Amino acid sequence: MSTNQLNELGKAAREAASALAVAKSSIKEQSLVACADQLRSNSRDIEVANQFDMEAARNKGLSKAMLDRLFLDKDRIEAMAVAVEGIALMPDPVGHVLSDSVRPNGLKIQKVSVPLGVIGIIYESRPNVTSDAAALCIKSGNACILRGGSDSWSSSNLIADCMRRGLESVGLNPNAVQRIPSSDRALVGELLRLDKYVDVIVPRGGKSLVARVQSEARVPVFSHLDGICHTYVDEHADLQKATNIVINAKMRRTGICGAMETLLVHEKLGQTFLPKIVSALKSQGCEVRGDNSVLHLKGVVPATIDDWDTEYLDAIVSIAVVPDIETAIEHINTHSSSHTEAIITEDKGNSDRFLREIDSAIVMLNTSTQFADGGEFGLGAEIGISTGRMHARGPVGAAELTTYKYRVIGTGQIRP
Amino acid sequence: MSTNQLNELGKAAREAASALAVAKSSIKEQSLVACADQLRSNSRDIEVANQFDMEAARNKGLSKAMLDRLFLDKDRIEAMAVAVEGIALMPDPVGHVLSDSVRPNGLKIQKVSVPLGVIGIIYESRPNVTSDAAALCIKSGNACILRGGSDSWSSSNLIADCMRRGLESVGLNPNAVQRIPSSDRALVGELLRLDKYVDVIVPRGGKSLVARVQSEARVPVFSHLDGICHTYVDEHADLQKATNIVINAKMRRTGICGAMETLLVHEKLGQTFLPKIVSALKSQGCEVRGDNSVLHLKGVVPATIDDWDTEYLDAIVSIAVVPDIETAIEHINTHSSSHTEAIITEDKGNSDRFLREIDSAIVMLNTSTQFADGGEFGLGAEIGISTGRMHARGPVGAAELTTYKYRVIGTGQIRP
C-alpha cells in the first residue's frame, strides 16, 4: 500500500465523516443494530478466519496470554455483538446544547456538541477492539481508520467488513469504517502524520505501541503510557476499609492500568495497619518492596529508586511510609503517571486537600483504584483512558469523541 | 539564553502552576487587582520604555499601522489596567462541577474543572497582550510563558514585571508569569518543543507566526490560520436585513478575522439583491471580485480561482452566485477556514440545514460574522479564536484554558 493510497483512504474517511456527522440518532442506532446482526450472521466465517490467525500465531510462538487475547469462538463473537448493541442503545452524544445564553443585543449563543471527525485507532491483538472501537465512533458520528495488529489480521478484517455492511444496510457510507489493508509497519508512521484527514489517534495496546504513537504523532493522541496508581492510607483512615480497598486495588486484577502499584502509609500506622497489610498482601501472593521503614517486616524486599516509577502490572507492590499528607501528595505528584490515585481517610480536611492537590486524571476517596474505568463511571463504553490534559482526560467514551461548535442565532443584528 | 535556561524557566513555571492551580478564587482576584495597581503606579516607567521601543521601531522603518499597535500612552496603560480588573471580576472557571452522578454501588463521580497547567503565548508587537494574556492565565489558574515580539521588548518586560509583582504582593509565586528574556528566534522553536513543561501554545499574531507555530509545535496549539468567513444570502432572505448584515460583515472592520471575505448569493436574487449589494459595497469603497454571474455588474472584476481561498483582511470581497443551498454549503465546506459562516434566511428548514451541515467553529443565522468574538459571546475576555477541533473551538476564554479531573467519592467500595 502506498502513501497515495493511504491519502485516498483518509480522504474517503473524511467524506464519510461529514455525512455521518449529520446523520440522525435513529439511523446511527439502526446501523449499529445491523452491525451486530452482521457479526452474528457471519460468526462462522469469523471463527474460521480466527482459526487461521490462531494457527499463524501458534507457529510464531506467541505466549498463552497473547493467544487467549486473539482467540474467538461463537460465545466471544456473540459478546462482541451484544457490546455493539449496548453502544447502539446509549444516548447520542451529538447535538447536545452544552450552554445557551442570550446576549443583551438579543443574539442567542449556543454551544452544541458535534463529532470530532476522523479517529485513527491503532491496536494490537484483540480482534474485538475492531467492533468496539468502530461502534463507539459510529455512535459519536465519527469515521474511524482502524489499524489492527498483524496477528489478528484475518479476524479483524472480517469484523470490519461486518461493520461496513451494517452501515451500508441502512444507507450510511461504509467508508466511515476504514481499515488499513496492509500490515506494513511504515504505514503506522504515515497514519500518525496524516493530520489532514485524521483528527485524533487512539492507541490501544502495550507501552511500546503507546510510546511510539506519542512520540511520532503529528495529530493529538488520547492515551496513557503508564498507570502508576497510588493509594495513600492516611492516619485518619478506617483501617478495615483501608485493608479491603488496598487488597482490592492491588490484587483484584494486577494487569489493568487502574491497579495500584505503590502504597503510601502514614507513619502513625506503622505499628498497626502496616504490618497487617504487608502480611495480607504477602498471603495473597504479592511481592512487597518497601522503603527503610517497611524493611523490618518479614518477607519485604528493599525497593530501589526505580520502584517508585514502575508500573508492575503484576503481583508486586512498593510501599513507602510518609510522615504526613504533604509528603504523600508530593510523592504522588512526583512519581505518578497522572492516572488514578486514592486516599483512604475519614478526615474531611485531608480528603479535600488530597482531592484538590493531586494532579491526576482521577482522584478517589475511600475506594479502589480498580474502579478507574469508563464502564464503572457510567460512560457506557470507553475507547481508552487518557492521562493527557487536552480535550479528554480519564476514561474516553462517546462524549469525549465529540467537540462543539457555536450556533449564533440573530434577527438581523449588526455589530456596532 | 541557553536551552538549559529555557528548561529552568519551564520548570519554574510548572512549579508555580501547581501552586496557582489550587489557589483560592479570592486570592487570584486580589492578585489581578494588585497587577492593575502595579500597571497604574508604573505607568510613567512603562511609557518611557515604550518610547525607547517606538524609537527603535521608527529607525527600523516599521509601518504606521505597526507603530500604532506598539504605541502606549497613559490612556492606553489605564485601559490595560481596566482590562485586568475586568478579568479579575469574571467568575472563576476553576472548581466547577461539570457533571455529577451516583453509581448503583454508591460511588459519587464528579467531573471538576481544573487549570490546564502552563500556557505558552507567542505574540507580536502589541504590548497589551502581555497583561491581557497573563491576566487570563492567572484567572484560570494557569502559569504562562510569554514570548513577545522584539519590537515591544522593553515595554512588555516592564508590563510582565508588573504582573509578577501583583502576584507576589498577595503571596502567590511570581514565576506563574514567565517571560523569555531573549529575543533570539531559535528560542521560539525550543518553546514549541518544550512539551515537558508547556501544555498548550497560543500564538497571537500574523499568519506567518501562526503557520510557524502550527508546523513546529510539539504541544497542542489554540489558533486560527485564516478567517475566510462566508455569508450566504438565501432565496428566502429578508433583503433589508441581508443588506445591513453583509455591509457590516464586510466593512465594519476589514482587518479582523471575523470579517466576511466571500459572499454567496442565491441565483433567484440575481436581479434584485445582487446588483443592489454590489453597488452598496462599491459605494463604501469595497473592491468586488465576482464569478461569471456577477461580472455583468458595473465595476466588478473577475474573481480568480485563488480568490475563493483568500483572506483579504481588506476592503475586497469575492462574490459567487449559487443555484441552491446545497451548492452554498459545499462551497463553504470546501473553501472556508472553519472559522465563522452565516446564512441570511427566514426559512427554518434552510437555516437548520446550514447550521447543522456547515462544519465551522461558529455558524450564524441572520447576523454579522463580525460578532465572532469572545467578548461578544459573553466570555468576558478571549486569548484568541481557535479553528482547531480539539479542546477549544471558537473563542478561547478563561474556561477554555481549563481541563477537568474526575473526583470519585466512595465509602469503602471495592470492585467485584
Tens-place pLDDT, residues A121-170 = 999 888 999 999 999 999 999 999 999 988 999 999 999 999 999 999 99
Q: Which residues contact B36 (CB under 8 A, 6 or more apart)?
A: B81, B82, B84, B85, B88, B166
Q: Using alpha carbons only, what angle is made at residue B63 by residues B61 and B69, rounded to the nearest 5 degrees?
A: 120
Per-residue pLDDT for A97 more than 90? yes
Residues A297 and A199 in one domain: no
Pairing of strands B108-115, B394-396: unpaired
Cβ of residue B97 closer than 8 Å to a chain A Cβ: no
Q: Rounded to two decimals, what is the model's pTM?
A: 0.93
Joined together, the cell numbers standing for residue A336 give 505518578
Looking at the structure, do residues B291 and B307 belong to the same domain, yes or no? yes
pLDDT digits (tens, 9 = 90+) for B15-71: 999 999 999 999 999 999 999 999 999 999 999 999 999 999 999 999 998 899 999
Q: Do A411 and B366 count as a contact with CB atoms less than 8 A apart?
A: yes
Q: Which three cell numbers stand for residue B226?
A: 485564516
Q: Give chain A as a 3 state SS string.
A: CCHHHHHHHHHHHHHHHHHHHCCCHHHHHHHHHHHHHHHHHCHHHHHHHHHHHHHHHHHHCCCHHHHHHHCCCHHHHHHHHHHHHHHHHCCCCCCCEEEEEECCCCCEEEEEEEECCEEEEEECCCCHHHHHHHHHHHHCCCEEEEECCHHHHHHHHHHHHHHHHHHHHCCCCHHHEEECCCCCCHHHHHHHCCCCCCCEEEEECCHHHHHHHHHHCCCCECCCCCCCEEEEECCCCCHHHHHHHHHHHHHCCCCCCCCEEEEEEEHHHCCCHHHHHHHHHHHCCCEEEECCCCCCCCCCEECCHHHHHCCCCCCEEEEEEECCHHHHHHHHHHHCCCCEEEEECCCHHHHHHHHHHCCCCEEEEEECHHHCCCCCCCCCCCCEEECCCCCCCEEECCHHHEEEEEEEEEEEECCC
Q: What is the pLDDT of residue A78?
A: 97
CATH code where residue A350 lies: 3.40.309.10
Closest CA to A310 of A215, A230, A394, A205: A230
**DSSP 8-state class, residue B295:** T
A407 contacts B361? CB cut-off 8 A: no
Q: How many CA atoms lie within 13 A of A404 on its CB side?
A: 22
Q: Are residues B206 and B264 in the same domain?
A: no
- Residue A170 amino acid letter: V
Write down the residue that cell numbers 467578548 correspond to.
B375
Residue B406 contacts A where some CB pair is shorter than 8 Å: yes
Cα–Cα distance between A188 and A238 in angstroms, integer?
49
Model pLDDT for residues A328-382, shown as the tens digit of each residue: 999 999 999 999 999 999 999 999 999 999 999 999 999 999 999 999 999 888 8
C-alpha cell at A68: 487467549
> Comparing C-alpha atoms, which of A83, A92, A78 is closest to residue A28?
A92
Q: Are residues B370 and B402 in the same domain?
A: no
pLDDT of A114 reads 98
Backbone angles phi, psi at B178, to 5 degrees: -115, 145
Same domain, B205 and B237: no
Q: Which 8-state DSSP code applies to residue B364?
A: E
Report the gap between the CA of A251 and the closest CA in chain B (Å): 11
Quick one: residue B414, left, alpha or beta (phi over 0 = left, psi -120 to 50 = alpha)?
beta
Q: Does A406 touch chain B (CB under 8 A)?
A: yes
**Which residue from B minimizes the CA distance to A391?**
B391
Domain count, chain B: 2
In this structure, is residue A388 part of a structural domain? no
Question: Nearest Cβ partner of A410 from B360, B364, B378?
Answer: B364
ipTM of the complex: 0.94
d(C-alpha A395, C-alpha A375), whole Å = 9
Place of cell 482459526: A51
> In this structure, are A267 and A358 located in the same domain?
yes
Check whether B117 has a pLDDT greater than 90: yes
CA of B243: which chain A residue's CA is closest? A412
Q: Which helix (H) or strand (E) holds B302?
A: strand B301-302
Q: Residues A393-406: pLDDT tens digits?
A: 999 999 999 999 99
Q: For residue A18, which residues of chain B lie inside 8 Å, CB to CB?
A: 333, 359
Nearest chain B alpha carbon to A17: B359
Residue of A nearest to B357 (CA): A22
The span from the CA of B115 to the CA of B93, in Å, is: 8
Residues B252 and B345 occupy one common structural domain: yes
Residue B397, pLDDT score? 93
We report the CATH number of the domain holding residue A34 as 3.40.605.10
B312 and B174, same domain (yes or no): no
Q: Domain of B168?
A: 3-222+393-408
Q: Nearest-CA residue of chain B relative to A365?
A: B409
- Phi-psi map region of A116: left, alpha, beta (phi>0 left; psi -120 to 50 alpha): alpha
Q: Specify if A376 maps to a domain.
A: no
Give A177→chain B minimum CA distance, Å: 20
Question: Which residues of B, range 259-298, sit inside 8 Å of A by Cβ?
Answer: none
Q: How confident is the model at residue A184 (pLDDT cuts 50, 70, 90)?
A: confident
Q: Which residues of A touch B409 (CB under 8 A)?
A: 364-367
Q: Would B168 be classed as within a structural domain?
A: yes
Q: What CA–CA distance (Å, rounded) separates B343 from B362? A: 12
Same domain, A82 and A150: yes
Instruction: Give contacts of A361 with chain B, Cβ < 8 Å.
Output: 405-406
Let me know if residue B51 belongs to a domain. yes
CB A322 within 8 A of CB A267: yes
- Cα angle B87, B91, B94 (rounded to 5 degrees) comes to 105
Whether the CB-CB separation of A273 and A239 falls below 8 Å is answered with yes
Across the interface, whether the CB atoms of B199 and A406 are under 8 A apart is answered no
pLDDT tens string A51-61: 999 999 999 99
A416, part of any domain: no
- Mean pLDDT of chain A, nearest integer: 95
Would B367 be classed as within a structural domain? Answer: yes
- Residues B300, B178 within the same domain: no
Q: Are residues A108 and A241 part of one domain?
A: no
Which tens digits make up the pLDDT trace of B195-251?
Answer: 999 999 999 988 899 999 999 998 899 999 899 999 999 999 999 999 999 999 999
Instruction: Answer yes or no: is A379 within a domain.
Output: no
Question: How far apart (Å, rounded) are the C-alpha atoms in residues B212 and B208?
Answer: 6
**pLDDT tens sequence across B278-330:** 999 999 999 999 999 999 999 999 999 999 999 999 999 999 999 999 999 99
In a domain, A330, yes or no: yes
User: pLDDT at position B142, please?
Assistant: 98
Q: How confident is the model over A1-35, as pLDDT tens digits?
A: 677 889 999 999 999 999 999 999 999 999 999 99
3-state helix, strand, coil in chain B (%, to 5): 45, 20, 35
Cβ separation A370–B414 shorter than 8 A: yes
Choose among B244, B366, B413: nearest Cβ to A368. B413
Let me know whether A240 and A154 are in one domain.
no
